[in-house]
Amino acid sequence: MSHANGMNAGMGGGGGMVGFPTPAGHQSDLNFIMQMVEDLSRQLEINQRMTASIVEKIGKVRERAKNMDLTNDELIALVSAEMNEDTNNLEKENSELRQQLDKSEYNKVENWKLAVHGANILSDILEKMHKFKEQHEKDTLAWHKNYRKQLADEREENLNLRNQINDMKAAACRANEHLRGLRRWLTDHDELNELRIQNIALRQEKRSWKRMALPHLHDSDSEFSDDDDLIDPEEKKRLAAEAAEKRKAEDGKDNGEGGSGGEGVSAVA
């Protein structure tokens, strides 16, 4: 027994075949088609029986005409009587055959209309596909043209930027070369070095004269400070000696305070 979804029908045939469920819409279409096939089979069976009966009766008529010496009218009357004995309702059979013929003609016309409608739909789809293809090719060509234009513009812009970068590098190289030349000229120029040495010596001499002229000022006063202290080794030595003497004085003062405090504690005891 076949199931509504076609599972048993698929599993029943073929031995090891595995059935798969059929969608509901497809199964309803298959059921309708099978019903139509069964109706056609029954109608064909009826037509075969009727055809066999007609052939049999024609054979009887031929046999009567062959064995009996009868005129045409007598033969027709005899055969008509025999046929009327077997078939009592020819009008009903004729009506049924007429209805089936009309139905087949109607189905033929409807099938033709359906075929024409399907052909029109296919032609419309084909026309739309051609239009879509044409429009798609136009859009694709326009997009490629625009893309190539943008790519050319970007390449030109990149080329300009690379040229500017190369120009900047060349200018930086020239500036660096000028700076190196200037530094080399300043470093290797004998007159400038001599003037620099004389300037430093004169400034140091000025500071020494200031110290002698102003003995009441401390040696670390800002009056005696100058940038030359950073490169004057003698000044560094003097500052280091002054710091050492200051630390020694502070250490002696701390030791004196500690000794006096110890003597006071022993006297109280």
Per-residue pLDDT at 262 exceeds 60 = no
The whole-chain average pLDDT of the chain stands at 76
Q: Give residue-wise pLDDT tens across range 3-28.
A: 444 444 444 444 444 455 555 556 67
Query: How many Å apart are CA 178 and CA 190, to the nearest integer?
Result: 20
Which residues, 6+ apart, have CB-to-CB distance to 83 below 8 Å?
Answer: 57
Reference 134, options 124, 146, 126, 122; nearest CA is 126
Are 168 and 187 in contact by the 8 Å Cβ rule? The answer is: no
Higher pLDDT: 247 or 265? It is: 247
Instruction: Please indicate, yes or no, if residue 9 is contained in any of the structural domains.
Output: no
Query: How many Å apart are CA 7 and CA 44, to the nearest integer?
Result: 30
Per-residue pLDDT at 227 exceeds 70 = no
Higher pLDDT: 255 or 84? It is: 255
Per-residue pLDDT at 231 exceeds 70 = no
Which residues, 6+ apart, have CB-to-CB distance to 18 below 8 Å?
Answer: 10, 11
Instruction: Please indicate, yes or no, if residue 81 is contained in any of the structural domains.
Output: yes
Q: What is the pLDDT of residue 4?
A: 43
Instruction: Please indicate, yes or no, if residue 132 is contained in any of the structural domains.
Output: no
Question: Mean of the pLDDT values across residues 45-67?
Answer: 77
Query: How many Å apart are CA 124 and CA 129, to the nearest integer?
Result: 9
Q: Give residue-wise pLDDT tens across range 112-159.
A: 888 888 888 988 899 999 999 999 999 999 999 999 999 999 999 999
Instruction: Please indicate, yes or no, if residue 8 is contained in any of the structural domains.
Output: no
Buried b (16+ CB within 10 A) or exposed e, 157-170: eeeeeeeeeeeeee
Angle at 113 between CA 45 and CA 107, to 5 degrees: 20
Reference 86, options 48, 47, 60; nearest CA is 60
Q: Domain count for the chain, please give it.
A: 2
Instruction: Please indicate, yes or no, if residue 124 is contained in any of the structural domains.
Output: no
Q: Which two tokens stand for residue 58?
A: 């024609």
Buried b (16+ CB within 10 A) or exposed e, 186-196: eeeeeeeeeee
Last residue of a domain, one of 44, 62, 88: 88
Per-residue pLDDT at 85 exceeds 80 = no
Percent of the chain residues topping a pLDDT of 90: 21
Helices (H), 68-189: 72-86, 90-188
Instruction: Please indicate, yes or no, if residue 258 is contained in any of the structural domains.
Output: no
Per-residue pLDDT at 232 exceeds 80 = no
Instruction: Please indicate, yes or no, if residue 74 is contained in any of the structural domains.
Output: yes
Which amino acid is present at 12? G
Q: What is the pLDDT of residue 16?
A: 43
Per-residue pLDDT at 226 exceeds 90 = no
Q: Which DSSP string corresponds to 243-265?
A: HHHHHHHHHHHHHHHHHHHHHHH
Percent of the chain residues topping a pLDDT of 70: 68
Domain that residue 205 falls in? 190-245
Per-residue pLDDT at 53 exceeds 90 = no
Instruction: Please indicate, yes or no, if residue 69 is contained in any of the structural domains.
Output: yes
Q: Give residue-wise pLDDT tens across range 175-223.
A: 999 999 988 888 888 888 888 888 888 888 887 787 777 777 666 655 5
Higher pLDDT: 202 or 227? It is: 202
DSSP 227: G
Q: Which two tokens stand for residue 213?
A: 């002229």
